[in-house]
């Protein structure tokens, strides 16, 4: 029977550390409630933010500012059933102060927490101590050997006793780990507490980063070595063939900690998780083989002699951890790639905020945002910015400030596009969604995309994959790929039948993202639009309930590939034909490629400027129709980006929100604003034919788009008639082409 069954509460000391954050994460995944000690409120808030969405109410932090202080853990250990003690210094900045900076804090901190557990942790049954291979490896032994958990580092503690503060920092670190672990075993033997002890002794630890890192300078020692490598300031050609020791993935170290709580036979044992030896030649080969790592980083990494891994060095057996704890190790390839990937993701966030917490342990290359254009003189659309945090959902009511109603109303009565910020999704969470979208479009086979294709022409439905070449514009086949999740497939049981097996592990994250777009962002926007129409704030939201049963909402990941030069020239740089959207509200997650153009009230095209982690919001036909066209559904298109972005594919994430499929798209005459808009039509019927429902209008538009049924009118634009209304596809020079013509 597990010593600490799921749903019990465990304490993780030093919870903000590189290994410790993974330990907390895996403890939460295993069903434990977790208390994490940290040195500051800032670090505690970071962890709260990191874990709150996936594990609400399951994690809380406690401040222990000084781990050496006697009694410092007295309160923290109360009410917990197990303790994972990870807090210990890990640095080599101890020149001339080895005892004070490394050895004493490690030993005293361990003694302090163990005494607190004995005196106040009356429910604790097991303690797991994070030790190190440094407590096993004896550096005085100059002959390479394979070490096991039976070995102890005796020489470093002896050197500490002789040399004190003058001990070499690396050797002092080894001494601190060996002496702290010895102190723990001695405590158990002498004090005979009600709990038993297990230790985890990993070697060099690499793998994905989750902890708070505000700059590259604050990276932990092991991960910093990989950062320096891809920055060109790390290992040289001469360093590659030398011995590097043994290595293990941080996820496997965390797994060993959790298994040590669950496996009864782990008590009284040491465990050394590792995949064994490695060299820096292994690392650089993996980096150069990874197709997703940008060349600007690979170019800084030495190449050495590929495959030259045969080096005589110490080894460490990880067999006991596999056999007793059942830990399955990640490969070195996985470890290195996820380390590099998370570092590039942190850099993309400018070392601010937190990463998304992965819901599944599947290696996913990060999406690395392209650099924004530096081209000058571009003509930008002057879009209003809505702070969505000012629109508050309070139970069954959504509060919208009057100045928001006024300013957003003016924006949608004229331009029809706005930005929205402070929406509730972190930039790290957004980058994760783009990484998932990148995977869905780049890593799923063409066979699966065809098997799970959207039935666009047959059913008027986008749900599924839409491959390139399904639409045509002036006789040119499109270069746009899509993966679309419809609201009825937001149910996992339906999504499992609608998308290929390779997509299934990501379905929970995808659906959570979709629901957030609908239940938070879309609801707030509809409250704003309801108030603009002088209706109750929930009026339009009530037309959009139960999307999984009656909805048409669509979450889309889209990839715009670069067309041939001949096709680009023929289309005048247009990549996706001009159109209005046919939903109620479109939510575009801003991305750096400058390609979206909006047709302004002066009949000129303007580009939409990228704003990191902002939304670009526009109204679709459905909202325009029910508002009597007081709210504008504005024509827009996707065009060739500026020259300095021309080589990048454009990846996008969109949420197209609809009224329920049976909602008639007739003007809401109970709105005084709509009444006034209709009065300007001077009796002209709004719908010449039968009023379509939201579902019917979507079907008509989906089937028609890109099918080649439109005709060119005398005004130079192309048109087609749907449900008695003329749909216009506006032509005209792109901003880039017009600018080039002006220059010429």
Tens of pLDDT, residue by residue over 164-208, are 898 888 899 899 999 999 999 999 999 999 999 999 999 999 999
103-121 pLDDT, tens per residue?
Answer: 888 899 899 999 999 999 9
Pick the CATH number of 9-205+247-276+314-330 from 3.90.1560.10, 3.40.50.1400, 3.50.50.60, 3.40.50.720: 3.40.50.720
Q: Is the pLDDT of residue 705 over 80?
A: no
Q: Is 726 exposed, middle or buried (0-12, 13-18, 19+ CB in 10 A)?
A: exposed
Contact in structure between 157 and 103 (CB atoms under 8 Å): no
Q: The dihedral of CA 205, 206, 207, 211: what is its sign?
A: positive
Alpha carbon distance 275, 252 (integer Å): 10
Alpha carbon distance 612, 369 (integer Å): 10
Contact in structure between 687 and 725 (CB atoms under 8 Å): yes
Separation of CA 358 from chain center: 7
Q: Is the pLDDT of residue 550 over 90?
A: no
- Confidence tier at 714 by pLDDT (50, 70, 90): low
| The pair of three-digit structure tokens given for residue 677, joined into one six-digit string | 């808009």
Contact in structure between 23 and 47 (CB atoms under 8 Å): no
| The pair of three-digit structure tokens given for residue 415, joined into one six-digit string | 């331009």
- The pLDDT of 510-529, averaged and rounded, is 96
In angstroms, the Cα distances linking 391 to 52, 384, 499 are 22, 16, 35
Contact in structure between 729 and 710 (CB atoms under 8 Å): yes
Torsion-angle region of 463 (φ positive above 0: left; ψ -120 to 50: alpha; else: beta): beta
566-625 pLDDT, tens per residue?
Answer: 888 888 888 888 889 999 999 999 999 999 999 999 999 999 999 999 999 999 999 999
Contacts of 349 (CB under 8 A, 6+ apart): 355, 427, 428, 431
Q: Which DSSP string do the residues of 647-674 spell out, in sequence order?
A: TS-EEEEEEEE---TT-B----TTSHHH
* Alpha-helical segments (H) within 143-241: 155-163, 169-191, 221-230
Contacts of 683 (CB under 8 A, 6+ apart): none
Contact in structure between 142 and 99 (CB atoms under 8 Å): no
445-475 pLDDT, tens per residue?
Answer: 999 999 999 888 888 788 899 998 887 767 7
In degrees, rounded to 5, the angle at the alpha carbon of residue 511 between the alpha carbons of residues 661 and 541 is 40
Q: Is the pLDDT of residue 351 over 80?
A: yes
Alpha carbon distance 662, 27 (integer Å): 46
- The pLDDT of 68-84, averaged and rounded, is 95
The 3-state secondary structure of 600-644 reads: CCCCCEEECCCCCCCEEEEECHHHHHHCCCCCCCCCEEEECCCHH
Q: Is the pLDDT of residue 132 over 80?
A: yes
258-267 pLDDT, tens per residue?
Answer: 999 999 999 9
- The pLDDT of 77-84, averaged and rounded, is 97
Alpha carbon distance 119, 117 (integer Å): 6
Whole-number mean pLDDT of the chain?
A: 91
Contact in structure between 146 and 316 (CB atoms under 8 Å): yes
Domain borders along the chain are 9-205+247-276+314-330, 385-659
**Quick one: pLDDT at residue 743?**
32
Alpha carbon distance 9, 80 (integer Å): 5
Contacts of 186 (CB under 8 A, 6+ apart): none
- Confidence tier at 742 by pLDDT (50, 70, 90): very low
Contacts of 686 (CB under 8 A, 6+ apart): 625, 628, 666, 667, 678
Name the 3-class secondary structure at 246.
strand
**Quick one: pLDDT at residue 744?**
29
Q: Hey, what long-range contacts does 139-142 have (CB within 8 A, 24 or more apart)?
A: 139/171, 139/174
503-513 pLDDT, tens per residue?
Answer: 999 998 999 99
Torsion-angle region of 4 (φ positive above 0: left; ψ -120 to 50: alpha; else: beta): beta
Q: Is the pLDDT of residue 708 over 80?
A: no
Residue with tokens 């596009």: 417
Classify 385-659 by CATH class: mainly beta
Residue 234 CB coordination number (10 Å)? 19
Q: The dihedral of CA 566, 569, 573, 578: what is its sign?
A: negative
- Phi, psi at 708, each rounded to 5°: 85, 15
User: What is the distance between the terminal CA atoms of the chain, rounded to a whole angstrom?
Assistant: 80
Residue with tokens 């003329």: 726
**Quick one: pLDDT at residue 123?**
96
Beta bridge mates, 718: 712, 729
- Confidence tier at 286 by pLDDT (50, 70, 90): very high
Of the candidate ranges 198-202, 366-370, 645-649, the one whose mean pLDDT is the lowest: 645-649
> Looking at residue 722, what DSSP letter applies?
E
In angstroms, the Cα distances linking 87 to 23, 336, 550, 644 are 12, 25, 52, 47
SS3 of the chain: helix, strand, coil, percent, to 5: 40, 20, 45
**Beta strand ranges found along 14-93 (DSSP E):** 33-38, 59-63, 82-85
**Quick one: pLDDT at residue 552?**
84
- Phi, psi at 720, each rounded to 5°: -150, 155
Q: Is the pLDDT of residue 729 over 70?
A: no
Q: Is the pLDDT of residue 740 over 70?
A: no
Contacts of 29 (CB under 8 A, 6+ apart): none
Separation of CA 242 from chain center: 36
Alpha carbon distance 586, 504 (integer Å): 26
Contacts of 86 (CB under 8 A, 6+ apart): 12, 13, 14, 15, 17, 19, 20, 23, 130, 257
Q: Tell me which residue of 110, 124, 113, 30 sits closest to 79, measured CA to CA.
A: 124
Q: How does 543-557 read in b/e, with b if 16+ C-beta sit within 10 Å?
A: bbeebbebbbbbbbb
Q: Is the pLDDT of residue 312 over 50?
A: yes
In angstroms, the Cα distances linking 449 to 95, 101, 465, 471, 484 are 59, 57, 6, 16, 11
Of the candidate ranges 6-15, 223-232, 463-472, 632-641, the one whose mean pLDDT is the lowest: 463-472
**Quick one: pLDDT at residue 682?**
77
Contact in structure between 151 and 136 (CB atoms under 8 Å): yes
| The pair of three-digit structure tokens given for residue 441, joined into one six-digit string | 């479009």
């Amino acid at each position: 029977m597990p010593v600490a069954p799921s749903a019990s509460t465990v304490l993780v000391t030093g919870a903000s550390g590189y290994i410790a954050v993974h330990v907390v994460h895996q403890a939460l995944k295993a069903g434990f409630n977790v208390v994490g000690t940290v040195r500051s409120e800032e670090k505690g808030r970071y962890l709260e933010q990191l874990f709150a969405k996936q594990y609400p109410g399951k994690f809380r932090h406690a401040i222990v500012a000084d781990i050496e202080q006697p009694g410092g853990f007295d309160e923290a250990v109360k009410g917990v059933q197990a303790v994972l003690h990870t807090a210990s210094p890990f640095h080599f900045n101890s020149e001339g102060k080895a005892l004070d900076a490394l050895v004493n804090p490690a030993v005293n901190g361990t003694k302090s927490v163990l005494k607190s557990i004995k005196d106040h942790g009356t429910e604790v049954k097991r303690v797991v101590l994070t030790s190190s291979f440094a407590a096993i490896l004896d550096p005085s032994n100059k002959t390479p050997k394979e070490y096991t958990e039976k070995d102890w580092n005796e020489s470093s503690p002896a050197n500490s006793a002789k040399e004190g503060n003058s001990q070499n920092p690396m050797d002092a670190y080894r001494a601190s780990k060996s002496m702290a672990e010895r102190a723990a075993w001695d405590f158990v033997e002498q004090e005979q507490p009600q709990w038993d002890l297990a230790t985890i002794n990993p070697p060099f630890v690499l793998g994905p980063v989750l902890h708070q890192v505000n700059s590259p300078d604050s990276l932990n020692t092991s991960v910093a070595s990989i950062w320096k490598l891809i920055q060109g300031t790390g290992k040289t050609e001469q360093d590659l063939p030398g011995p590097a020791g043994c290595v293990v993935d941080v996820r496997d170290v965390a797994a060993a900690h959790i298994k040590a709580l669950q496996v009864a036979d782990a008590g009284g044992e040491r465990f050394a998780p590792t995949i064994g030896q490695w060299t820096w030649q292994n690392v650089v080969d993996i980096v150069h083989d990874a197709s997703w790592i940008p060349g600007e980083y690979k170019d800084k990494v030495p190449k050495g002699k590929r495959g030259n891994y045969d080096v005589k060095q110490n080894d460490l057996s990880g067999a006991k951890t596999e056999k007793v704890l059942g830990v399955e190790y990640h490969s070195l390839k996985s470890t290195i790639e996820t380390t590099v990937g998370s570092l590039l993701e942190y850099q993309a966030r400018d070392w601010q905020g937190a990463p998304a917490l992965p819901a599944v342990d599947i290696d996913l290359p990060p999406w690395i945002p392209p650099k924004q254009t530096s081209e000058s003189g571009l003509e930008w659309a002057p879009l209003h910015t809505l702070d969505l945090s000012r629109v508050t959902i309070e139970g069954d009511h959504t509060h919208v400030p009057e100045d928001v109603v006024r300013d957003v109303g003016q924006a949608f009565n004229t331009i029809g596009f706005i930005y929205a910020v402070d929406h509730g999704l972190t930039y790290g969470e957004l980058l994760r969604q783009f990484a998932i979208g990148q995977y869905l479009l780049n890593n799923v086979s063409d066979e699966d995309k065809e098997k799970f294709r959207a039935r666009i022409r047959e059913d008027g439905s986008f749900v599924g994959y839409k491959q390139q070449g399904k639409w045509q514009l002036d006789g040119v086949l499109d270069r746009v790929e899509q993966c679309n999740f419809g609201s009825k497939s937001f149910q996992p049981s339906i999504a499992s039948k609608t998308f290929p097996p390779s997509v299934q592990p990501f379905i929970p994250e995808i659906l959570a993202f979709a629901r957030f777009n609908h239940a938070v962002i879309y609801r707030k926007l509809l409250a704003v639009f309801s108030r603009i129409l002088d209706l109750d704030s929930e009026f339009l939201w009530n037309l959009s309930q139960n999307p999984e049963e009656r909805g048409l909402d669509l979450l889309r990941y889209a990839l715009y590939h670069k067309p041939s030069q001949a096709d680009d020239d023929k289309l005048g740089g247009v990549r996706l034909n001009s159109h209005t959207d046919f939903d109620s509200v479109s939510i575009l997650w801003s991305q750096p490629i400058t390609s979206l153009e909006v047709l302004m009230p002066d009949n000129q095209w303007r580009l939409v400027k990228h704003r990191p982690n902002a939304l670009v919001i526009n109204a679709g036909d459905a909202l325009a129709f029910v508002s009597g066209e007081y709210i504008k559904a504005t024509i827009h298109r996707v065009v060739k980006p500026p020259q300095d972005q021309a080589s990048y594919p454009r990846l996008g994430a969109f949420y197209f929100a609809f009224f329920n499929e049976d909602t008639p798209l007739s003007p809401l005459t109970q709105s005084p604003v709509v009444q006034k808009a209709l009065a300007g039509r001077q009796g002209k019927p709004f719908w010449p034919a039968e009023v379509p429902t939201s579902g019917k209008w979507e079907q008509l538009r989906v089937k028609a788009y890109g099918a080649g049924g439109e005709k060119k009118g005398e005004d130079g634009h192309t048109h087609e008639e749907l449900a008695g209304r003329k749909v216009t596809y506006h032509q005209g020079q792109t901003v880039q082409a017009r600018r080039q013509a002006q220059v010429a």
